[in-house]
Amino acid sequence: MCGIIGYVGPRECRDLLMEGLRRLEYRGYDSAGLSVVRKGSVGSVHAVGNLEQLRNAVAQTNGHLSGSTGIGHTRWATHGRVTEENAHPHWDTSGRVHIVLNGIVENWTELRDRLVANGAEFTSETDAEVVAHLISEYFDGDLVEAVRLAYNDLRGHYAFVAMSADAPSVLVGARKECPLVVGIGEGESFIASAIPAFLSETRRVQLVHDGEIVAVTPDGSRFIAPDGSALERAVDEVDWDEEEAEKGGYETFMLKEIHEQADAVAETLAGRLGEDGVELEDIGISDEFLKDVRRVIIVACGTSYHAGLVGRYAIEWWARRPVEMDIASEFRYRNPVLSERDLVIGISQSGETADTLAAMRLARERGAKVLAITNIMGSQATRDADGVLFTRAGLEIGVAATKTFVAQVAAMYLFALKLAELHGTLEPEVRRGLVEDLRSMPHLIAQLVDEIEEPTRRIARHWKDSEFFLYLGRHIGLPICLEGALKLKEVSYIPTDAYAAGEMKHGPIALLDENTPVVCVATDSPVLDKMLSNIAEVRARGAHVIAVASEGSGRVAEHAEQVVEVPAIDWLLQPLFAVIPLQLLAYEIACARGLNVDQPRNLAKTVTVE
């Protein structure tokens, strides 16, 4: 998840672009760059590290980097190492066409081979650079047409902005799933990944919808479809204040991040799903080792532990490898028995959680291979592991983890499918079906969040004064109910308990009375019948059932009072959907109680102490 910004108008744009990047830095900050058109050529500066480094690099240009048309980028590396060459903007062989891109171009290798065969010279390892060479190949004076033709050759998930020294008064943007928005000023225009990037300059915005191309000039904008036909687009007035701007127009970071989950999953999957399998070449753990792995042990804390639990079910079901789970603070002191053929996976969004790091170090000392799953480049976890599988959720500000959880679950699905492929434990058509289902998830998540927000708010308002909640789930629904219970505890301070539903009659059932809300994760699974009978046991004690069920499964609705449905794709993938209504339930109850959901009491975003 990177941040892109562009300006075209009468003003010197260098500082406008830098300020825009500062407001987008939450999207990525491992390297950054600017390009500005000046007197018929384009000047460009790249810097590795956060924006401070870019500011220093720009200062060293002694004003040479100046002009009134420019683009900027802050990076979250996906393809290519964190180097100056791989920082954006990228340019074509002539250095006259420059682009910034957020997202992933999936067919970049074949495009690059074609462009190199036609004489293009590449200067980076990134997928994004192909866009600059492709536009240049089509450019015959009309930048909009060149971008349109290039857009139709690209496959993937991205938004980009192009600029040319030969067309200095226009910027051309294109969107395929990744966010892009235009800002209309007085005789000037902006284009960026998010509104806060230019909100201090103009409140008049135009959203770029999926599959659209837009040309912005100082006088305004022109929207076209990939076939070249003209599109109308209204100008909306944004009334956000500064604080709201930081939150992208949402009232809190937690709600903003719940709405960023589709992107977080799309980014984490992007470039890792092939035709009928998973491509995880760059995780630093060899296929040879994975083919010979004896046991997988997952260690983590809190929400990351719950993501690991989902991973266990998927690995055992698809890859038929034995998986052990352990809370990191227990693992590090239980004197675990490990061997060279064991793989220990340490999951930590921050990559700085003390207990998880210590567990990973212990595993390495005992000869096991260690894979880190983390959301933060350069974090300690990346140094305490033999290999790293990055989630790509972007920076998470809200203490209660949401988008990093779904990104971790997506990463676990990728890893489990990879292992299944290496062990030949899944029929090719089954694997192809799972890959197709995974590919469809970002779109379905975006739809789901919009559809269930209001109904979940109503359920939350109904139960906001409850003094206790019980959460029940079975099989792969269990980690989701554990996560839902944790979310409600974290942000509403209401005591909750989460149990394997089959365990309820061995004790927790004693907690139930006619006032108890019981949240049940009852999506499709081989044990749904068992789950339905547990729900009946709950109802028999007069308690109330709020259930999360698969779309169209009327059977759950027969037993539960309130049901939130999620898309019915492969049952082992549905938990990634099922957590979303539980996040929203916790969020809405906490808000109804007037609590600060972004900084809940007693909690820290990163727990760097034991």
Point out the residues that are catalytic.
2, 605
Give how far Cα 270 sits from Cα of 149, 177, 344, 396, 577, Å: 23, 11, 25, 19, 18
Q: Residue 608, SS3?
A: coil
Pick the stretch among 284-292, 297-305, 314-322, 331-339 that binds ligand AGP (CB under 6 A): 297-305
d(CA 58, CA 222): 31
Q: Report d(CA 348, CA 453) in Å as an integer.
A: 28
User: Considering only residues 86-105, where is the footprint of ligand AGP by CB under 6 A?
Assistant: none
Residue 69 vs 348, nearer CB to ligand AGP: 348
| Interface stretch with ligand AGP, choices 111-119, 267-275, 337-345, 396-404 (CB under 6 A) | 396-404
User: Shortest approach of ligand AGP to residue 376 CB, angstroms?
Assistant: 8
Q: Which of 216, 399, 414, 417 binds ligand AGP (CB under 6 A)?
A: 399
Structure tokens at 313: 């079910």
Q: Which of 500, 568, 592, 607 binds ligand AGP (CB under 6 A)?
A: 607
The region of 50-58, 346-354, 546-554, 577-585 touching ligand AGP under the rule CB under 6 A is 346-354
Give the one residue of 261, 356, 391, 562 binding ligand AGP; rule: CB under 6 A: 356
Residue 346 found at the interface with ligand AGP (CB under 6 A) = no
- Asked if 401 is part of the footprint of ligand AGP (rule: CB under 6 A), the reply reads yes
Minimum Å distance from CB 351 to ligand AGP?
7
Output 126 or 349, the one with its CB closest to ligand AGP.
349
166, with CB counted inside 10 A (0-12, 13-18, 19+), is middle
**Binding of ligand AGP by 606 (CB under 6 A):** yes
Q: Is 193 in the site for ligand AGP (CB under 6 A)?
A: no
Report how far residue 7's alpha carbon sits from residue 69's, in angstroms, rounded to the nearest whole number. 6
Residues in contact with 305: Cβ distance below 8 Å, sequence separation at least 6, in sequence order: 325, 327, 328, 347
Q: What is the DSSP string of 185-210?
A: -SS-EEEESSGGGTTTT--EEEEPPT
| Smallest distance, ligand AGP to C-beta of residue 404, A | 7
Q: Which is nearer to ligand AGP, 44 or 350 (CB)?
A: 350
Closest CA to 194 of 135, 240, 137, 133: 240
CA distances to 210, 315, 411, 441, 486 from 417, rounded to whole Å, are 29, 8, 10, 16, 28
Residue 223 or residue 305: which is nearer to ligand AGP going by CB? 305
| Shortest separation between residue 469's beta carbon and ligand AGP, angstroms | 17
* C-alpha closest to that of 457 among 546, 585, 564, 560: 585
Q: Are 522 and 557 in contact (CB under 8 A)?
A: no
Q: Are 42 and 95 in contact (CB under 8 A)?
A: yes
Q: What's the closest the beta carbon of residue 473 comes to ligand AGP, in angstroms?
A: 18
Residues 348, 380, 391, 525: which binds ligand AGP (CB under 6 A)? 348
Nearer to ligand AGP, 102 or 402 (CB): 402
Alpha helix (H) ranges present in 282-353?
287-291, 302-314, 328-331
Site string for ligand AGP, 546-565 (x = CB under 6 A): --------------------
What six digits make up the tokens of 1?
Answer: 């998840």
Report the Cα 80 to chain-centroid distance in Å.
19
- Asked if residues 51 and 14 have their Cβ atoms less than 8 Å apart, the reply is no
Residues 6+ apart with CB under 8 A from 609: 354
Give yes or no for residue 590 binding ligand AGP (CB under 6 A): no
User: Minimal distance in Å, beta carbon 564 to ligand AGP?
Assistant: 21
Degrees, nearest 5: CA angle 421-425-428: 65
Q: How far apart are the first and last CA of the chain?
A: 31
In the list 69, 136, 193, 304, the residue contacting ligand AGP (rule: CB under 6 A) is 304
Nearest CB to ligand AGP, comparing residues 154 and 411: 411
**Residues of span 27-46 touching ligand AGP by CB under 6 A:** none
- In the list 353, 553, 562, 583, the residue contacting ligand AGP (rule: CB under 6 A) is 353
Which of 33, 302, 308, 477 is the binder for ligand AGP (CB under 6 A)?
A: 302
| Phi, psi (degrees; rounded to nearest 5) at 44 | -145, 145
- Residue 303 in the binding site for ligand AGP (CB under 6 A): yes
Q: Which stretch binds ligand AGP (CB under 6 A): 283-291, 295-303, 334-342, 529-537?
A: 295-303
> How do beta strands 517-522 and 544-550 pair?
parallel
Instruction: State which residue has the least CB distance to ligand AGP.
Output: 302
Contact pattern from residue 450 through residue 469 relative to ligand AGP, giving x for each residue in contact according to CB under 6 A and a dash for the rest = --------------------
DSSP string, 126-155: -STHHHHHHHHHH-SS-HHHHHHHHHHH--
Residue whose CB is less far from ligand AGP, 128 or 400: 400
Q: DSSP assignment of 382-409, as one string?
A: HHSSSEEEE-------SSS--HHHHHHH
Interface with ligand AGP, residue 350, by CB under 6 A: yes
Q: Number of residues interacting with ligand AGP: please give it, by CB under 6 A.
A: 15
CB nearer to ligand AGP: give 170 or 254: 254
Does 483 bind ligand AGP (CB under 6 A)? Our answer is no
Q: What's the closest the beta carbon of residue 28 comes to ligand AGP, in angstroms?
A: 18
Cα-based torsion angle of the residue sequence 73, 206, 243, 595 in order, rounded to the nearest 10 degrees: -110
Closer Cβ to ligand AGP, 70 or 302, answer by number: 302
CB of 448 to ligand AGP, least distance (A): 20
Angle between helices 428-463 and 403-423 (to 10 degrees): 160
The one segment of 166-174, 343-351, 410-418, 521-529 that binds ligand AGP by CB under 6 A: 343-351
Q: Which is nearer to ligand AGP, 354 or 444 (CB)?
A: 354
User: CA neighbours within 13 Å on the CB side: how many for 527?
Assistant: 16
Provide the 8-state DSSP code for 289.
Answer: H
Rounded to the nearest whole angstrom, what is the least distance from the CB of residue 350 to ligand AGP in the complex? 3
Q: Does 301 bind ligand AGP (CB under 6 A)?
A: yes
Q: Which stretch binds ligand AGP (CB under 6 A): 128-136, 199-207, 252-260, 398-406?
A: 398-406
Which residue lies nearer to ligand AGP by CB, 173 or 308?
A: 308
- Cα–Cα distance, 515 to 504 (Å, whole number): 17
For the CB of residue 354, give the shortest distance to ligand AGP in the complex, in Å: 9
Binding site for ligand AGP (CB under 6 A): 301-304, 348-350, 353, 356, 399-401, 490, 606-607
